[in-house]
Amino acid sequence: MTTPIPSPPAIPFLGHITAIDKDLPLKSISLLAKQYGELFEINVFGSKRLYANSYALQNELSDEKRFFKKIHPGLEEVRVAAKDGLFTAKVPAEENWYIAHRLLMPCFNTAAVFGMYDDMLDIATQLIQKWERFGPSEKLDPAQDFSRLTLDAISLCAMSYRLNSFYRDEAPEFVTAMGEFLIECGRRSLRPGLVKAAMVNSNAQFMKNVKIMDDVVTAIVEDHRKNPPTKPDLMQTMLTGVDKETGKRLEEEQVKVNCLTFLIAGTSLSRMLTFMCYYLLKNPEAMRKLREEIDTTLAGRPFTIKDINKLPYLLAVMRETLRLSPTAPNRTVAPLENTVIGGKYAVEKDTLLNMNIYTMHRDPAVWGEDAEEFRPERLLGEKFDQLPPNAWQPFGFGLRGCIGRPFAWQEAQLVMVMIMQHFDLVLDDPSYELQIKQTITIKPNHFYIHAIPRKDRPRLSVGQSVPALIGKPAEASPGVATGAANLKPLYVLYGSNTGSSESFAQRLVSAAPSHGFHGSLKPLDLATEHLPTDGPILIVTASFEGQPADNAKHFVEWLENVNAPTGFVGVQFAVFGCGNRDWTVTYQRIPTLIDRVLAEHGATRLAARGEGDASGPEFFDSFDQWEKATWKALGEAYDVTTKTESVGLDIKVSSGSNGRAEVLRQRDMAFGTVVSSKVLTAPGAPPKRHIEFELPEDMTYRAGDYLAILPLNPERVVKRALSRFKLSAEQEVEISSAVPTSLPTSKPIAIFNLLSGYVELQQPATLRDLEILLQAKNSDASTAALKDLVANYASKVFTSRLSVLDILEDNKDIDVSLSTFLQMVPAMRIRQYSISSSPLWNPQHVTLTLSVVDAPARSGRDENFLGVASTYLAGVQPGHKVQMAVRSSNAAFHPPSDPTVPMVMVCAGSGLAPMRGFLQERAEQKKAGREVAPSLLFFGCRRPGEDFLYFDSDLKEWTELGIVDVRPAFSRCISDSYECRYVQDRIAHDKEDVNKAFDAGARFFVCGVGKMSTGVKASMLTLVKERTKTDDAGAQAIFDKVLKGRYATDIFE
Ligand SMILES: Cc1cc2nc3c(=O)[nH]c(=O)nc-3n(C[C@H](O)[C@H](O)[C@H](O)COP(=O)(O)OP(=O)(O)OC[C@H]3O[C@@H](n4cnc5c(N)ncnc54)[C@H](O)[C@@H]3O)c2cc1C
Ligand SMILES: NC(=O)c1ccc[n+]([C@@H]2O[C@H](COP(=O)([O-])OP(=O)(O)OC[C@H]3O[C@@H](n4cnc5c(N)ncnc54)[C@H](OP(=O)(O)O)[C@@H]3O)[C@@H](O)[C@H]2O)c1
Ligand code: HEM
Ligand SMILES: Cc1cc2nc3c(=O)[nH]c(=O)nc-3n(C[C@H](O)[C@H](O)[C@H](O)COP(=O)(O)O)c2cc1C
């Protein structure tokens, strides 16, 4: 008995054409695979193709007795240029493939490739020299430089021809033509014949690109004929070799198309190198281990032929890179006869079967639940040998497998070792998340890095000495009186995800001139391996679940592994940590670690570590105290007595615009578009909204990810500030700053825009702010009021969230300038929201489930307190543009990749957001015919008719679909929820079902405020205690052990 092959709903005539993203087919195919499972069918204009997605099918289809490579429509288009070259030839029909294959296989065997080593080294050295000469501040485009590298290496090694791509500023014409050609091949393959013929301009450009490529290979072949190399090469074999079996030679045309084939096929290698840099940069531990292996094994000497395949961790990194990003992500085969695959799907002879290697390489059956993670250890040494057959297939298989594999393997090792030996790599944008660009291969898009020459390495090129990326503090901007020439350098480094530490760091830099220093401001990662010793270093950093912030990961990884006991002698430092005591076990873990390790390895601690608890009223005060003590210590240590008058900020009223995300150092932000927004709650209840956005181009997401939003202040609050400073919304200012600032400088900006978008106007005033206000011109009444606030800071300012603006409004006679005010208020922060949709519903759209903060102000002011971002989002209309970026969440907080694994989800209020995304994903899978386990959803809200979100829409539909069983807890109507007030009470009430779900292997997800999560955990511990008849400690131990990896929380402060 066979089973029908699942297929998405189709549009008449067009079939599934709209189901496939024309620029990134891989995205659509992977999402369809997630939805439909191991095999699905797609029809494009009547042409049918199957997509196989599981390891089991990968293994089955790798049987050349039953299946053989078939040229798919995309490759048909590539044949316009590459004809019957090795890669695109139709076998067995085209005899030229056999001749070329037999002649060229020996040219690519391992021994032959060893012989290419010197030429490879020659080209790799050009790359290293280029990066060295450009220096650490140059933003490098690795994808482009690796394209230069591989093209030049292949043409020199195989054809003795120098393309000299590194000697041209522009991308080589061949690379551009090839890129455009390959993209167009993909697009043409999705167009019906008539449409294709009608696209005259595209066709002309397509043929122009074919000609550019053809001219290059013609030049190479002619040059080779005129100047035959002294040592035989692959081109020589193509031009003169005779096939032993047929006695035939390759025609000139065949030589050219194969020459072109190698140049095209070589792009896979450049892309692999780019992905490797990406994965290493995103995984500091792997980067460190690789570098350690290279430094220990080679001890600084150059990599030689003898070292090839001798660095096991390097090989594991290469394998893992190609597992997660097989640069040729799919290939096609067809059955030689009518057959049945997967034991149940009937497939006719010659049907196009697309092997989705990208998804197959993530099959949890082979790679486990952490398949999405980059973990070279899984492919280290014998682990690689123990893989099930055909599980790792980035190079294809069998007769049509990659002929260039030994070449690629050797070149990749040489290049990565040279890079690691010469540079510390850092991301240009630490928050960069992988974006993929696809032709027939894939590569990271918009991926930029900096290469900082390693201090301990001799440089290849002779030139100016290169400063580290964190460099010396910049000169003051012209026209700002600071006495900067007399100031000493100061380095302020931060590790920050949501902006508090960065904002404190900014304050230090701003204040530096008045303490005799001139500061530079950079994320900690940029100081990895490069801690300056010519000035004090002030570090402000946070912890997240005990881990460093995203822009401090490399730094901390490096620090934790420094061995030399005196490694930091000469470094002078002080650390301030931002943390939150709700994270009891890992409170201040990262700042403490940095402070300890630096001191233990010989660095001089200038001031005692400071710590701020974001959950308490002393947060800002702790920083102020620490700052005061630290400046004092710095003054003594550096004998700085001069105090410059200027605070370094100068404002001129004039006209212009901004570049907000860049200035606020949120460079991954881009504009998304609002699609719709609706209220989910009953009138009168605290509002919750459902908002749908179209994501900016190239942004992708997973269910459970966050959407970071760069908001604008509520208009009402901005107007309050304008009127307090007696300014008009239409006036413009021009800011100059002697120190790095998160305000827009040196170009005019409307005051309204400045106050709306660059600063937080509603943060509680700090004690330092109060001091500044006290020093300003004041009346006696204001001075008394300010002193009262200082004396009762916790209750009257912090807890009631009294802002500087509130205080200035209440005390109209306090005389401060706009400039002073702007230096008191922190930079605008991004806010994160759990995405409440799944890409299986719509990969380009996301939804948020938003709780709007609009409540009587704790300060007792007349008007309600309006949360910045939630008010901003509550006010957006369809068509509005919003600055946003997808940020990945905790790796464990995603739905299990196997939909038959049940979930127990616990949440309250808008904590439902990620759970809705999980359930939507499962609903799409179920509707696609997959087996989906039923899940339990514990949801806390006030009353059934008030804020039971999605109750009569999605939750109803998904309950009827059988994928979820909803267990509400109505906190203000307990009679409707079995007297359970909160979700933790409902868990206790429904313990039998929770136990059953646990026994069925369920994964647990909890989302909401800290207190709820604590309550839920307590409830779970009680369950464990009852089940196992143990005491509290025993229950905790069992909980930690048994639920490790099965219990994920997403908690907000
Ligand atoms: C990982 C993560 C995921 C999140 N996901 C979601 C989500 O899916 N949906 C969602 O709605 N939110 C979510 N949040 C919360 C969200 O990021 C914002 O914190 C929230 O929207 C408030 O931001 P805001 O700018 O509107 O308020 P802000 O301007 O930042 O004001 C909030 C601050 O004001 C204080 N405050 C609150 N009420 C008053 C009052 N009456 N008077 C004075 N002060 C007051 C609060 O204590 C808080 O300190 C998430 C948070 C995190 C960390
Ligand atoms: N991933 C995230 O980090 C994330 C996701 C979504 C939302 N949020 C944020 O979470 C905050 C609260 O969200 P909200 O406004 O949606 O919630 P809400 O509507 O105020 O509360 C939802 C329910 O939780 C109950 N509750 C209160 N304290 C509880 C406790 N200790 N244990 C269990 N239940 C409790 C409430 O009961 P009573 O009011 O009757 O006491 C109510 O029934 C918002 O600031 C929102 O921005 C964060
Ligand atoms: C990391 C680098 C590389 C990867 C991941 C890779 C991957 C692949 C894959 C998957 C195939 C099979 C395609 C199919 O079945 O349709 C293939 C074929 C091929 N590759 Fe590579 N390749 C790489 C580098 C190279 C290099 C550097 C060259 C040449 C110098 C090369 C030359 C070829 C050729 C000629 C074929 C066609 C073989 C045939 O069918 O006869 N590849 N490659
Ligand atoms: C998801 C999450 C996890 C956190 N984990 C910790 C922690 O383990 N230890 C700690 O001291 N603080 C923890 N905090 C608190 C932050 O470190 C604190 O809010 C800090 O001010 C954030 O700094 P930033 O704004 O510079 O990123 C956590 C906060 C969040 C949102």
Quickly tell me which residue has 């912890």 as its tokens.
Answer: 543
The pLDDT of residue 474 is above 80: no
Residues 297-325, mean pLDDT to the nearest whole number: 95
Residue 762 Cβ contacting ligand 1 at under 6 Å: yes
Supply 148's token pair.
């230069």
Quickly tell me which residue has 């690789």 as its tokens.
Answer: 290
Residue type, 413: Q
Q: How confident is the model at residue 657, as a pLDDT?
A: 39
The helix/strand/coil state of 788 is helix
| 720-754: pLDDT as tens digits | 999 999 998 888 888 888 777 888 887 888 899 99
Residue 126 Cβ contacting ligand 2 at under 6 Å: no
Q: How confident is the model at residue 1053, as a pLDDT?
A: 65
Q: How confident is the model at residue 567, as a pLDDT?
A: 86
Please tell me which of 87-96, 182-191, 1037-1046 the model is most confident about, judged by mean pLDDT: 87-96
Residues 461-484, mean pLDDT to the nearest whole number: 44
- The span from the CA of 955 to the CA of 849, in Å, is 14
Whether the CB-CB separation of 1032 and 874 falls below 8 Å is answered with: no
| 841-872: pLDDT as tens digits | 999 999 999 999 999 999 888 899 999 999 99
| 662-688: pLDDT as tens digits | 888 887 889 999 999 999 999 999 999
Helix or strand (DSSP H, E) at 260: helix 252-265
Residue 591 Cβ contacting ligand 4 at under 6 Å: no
Residues 319-331, mean pLDDT to the nearest whole number: 96
Q: How confident is the model at residue 480, as a pLDDT?
A: 39
Whether the CB-CB separation of 72 and 186 falls below 8 Å is answered with: no
- The span from the CA of 720 to the CA of 335, in Å, is 73
Q: How confident is the model at residue 1010, as a pLDDT?
A: 85
Residue whose CA is at the smallest distance from ligand 1 atom 3: 833
Residue whose CA is at the smallest distance from ligand 2 atom 11: 1009
Quickly tell me which residue has 């120098």 as its tokens.
Answer: 162
Burial track 562-577 (b if 16+ CB lie within 10 A, e otherwise): eeeeebbeebbbbbbb
Whether the CB-CB separation of 453 and 614 falls below 8 Å is answered with: no
Residue 1014 Cβ contacting ligand 2 at under 6 Å: no
Residue % of the chain over a pLDDT of 70: 95
The per-residue pLDDT of the chain, averaged, comes to 91
Lowest mean pLDDT across 216-220, 811-815, 896-900, 1042-1046: 1042-1046
Q: Which ligand is nearest to the CA of 873?
A: 1
| 614-659: pLDDT as tens digits | 887 788 889 988 999 999 999 999 888 655 444 556 665 543 334 7
Q: What residues are in contact with ligand 3 under a 6 Å CB criterion?
A: 69, 86-87, 101, 154, 261-262, 265-266, 268-269, 272, 322, 327-328, 331, 394-396, 400-404, 407-408
- The span from the CA of 287 to the CA of 553, in Å, is 11
Q: How confident is the model at residue 464 (pLDDT cuts 50, 70, 90)?
A: very low
- Using the 8-state DSSP alphabet, how is residue 777 labeled? B
Which neighbouring-strand residues pair with 678? 690
Which neighbouring-strand residues pair with 764? 803
Residue of 1031, 664, 706 whose CA lies nearest to 850:
706
The pLDDT of residue 463 is above 70: no
Extended strands (E) in 527-647? 537-544, 547-548, 572-579, 604-605, 610-613
Residue 581 Cβ contacting ligand 4 at under 6 Å: no
Strands 935-941 and 964-970: parallel
Residue 700 Cβ contacting ligand 2 at under 6 Å: no
Of 759, 806, 831, best ligand 1 pocket probe by most atoms within 8 Å of the beta carbon: 831
Which has more confidence, 888 or 207? Answer: 207
Q: How confident is the model at residue 477, as a pLDDT?
A: 39
Q: Which ligand is nearest to the CA of 835?
A: 1
What's the predicted TM-score (pTM) here? 0.84
Of 496, 503, 583, best ligand 4 pocket probe by most atoms within 8 Å of the beta carbon: 583
Q: How confident is the model at residue 168, as a pLDDT?
A: 83
Q: How confident is the model at residue 639, as a pLDDT?
A: 83
Supply 994's token pair.
């929770």
Q: How confident is the model at residue 668, as a pLDDT?
A: 83
Residue type, 288: R
Which has more confidence, 347 or 861? Answer: 347
Residues 531-558, mean pLDDT to the nearest whole number: 92
Supply 364's token pair.
């949890």
Supply 667's token pair.
């460079």
Whether the CB-CB separation of 1050 and 894 falls below 8 Å is answered with: no
Burial track 156-168 (b if 16+ CB lie within 10 A, e otherwise): bbbbbbebebbee
Which has more confidence, 823 or 149? Answer: 149
Residue % of the chain over a pLDDT of 90: 72
The pLDDT of residue 42 is above 90: yes
Whole-number Å distance, alpha carbon 395 to ligand 3 midpoint, is: 6
The helix/strand/coil state of 729 is coil
CA atoms in the 13 A half-sphere facing the CB of 426: 31
Quickly tell me which residue has 């900006």 as its tokens.
Answer: 749
| 112-166: pLDDT as tens digits | 899 999 999 999 999 999 999 998 889 999 999 999 999 999 999 999 999 999 9
Lowest mean pLDDT across 590-594, 903-907, 914-918, 1047-1051: 1047-1051
The pLDDT of residue 552 is above 80: yes
Whether the CB-CB separation of 839 and 733 falls below 8 Å is answered with: no
Residue 447 Cβ contacting ligand 4 at under 6 Å: no
Residues 782-790, mean pLDDT to the nearest whole number: 96
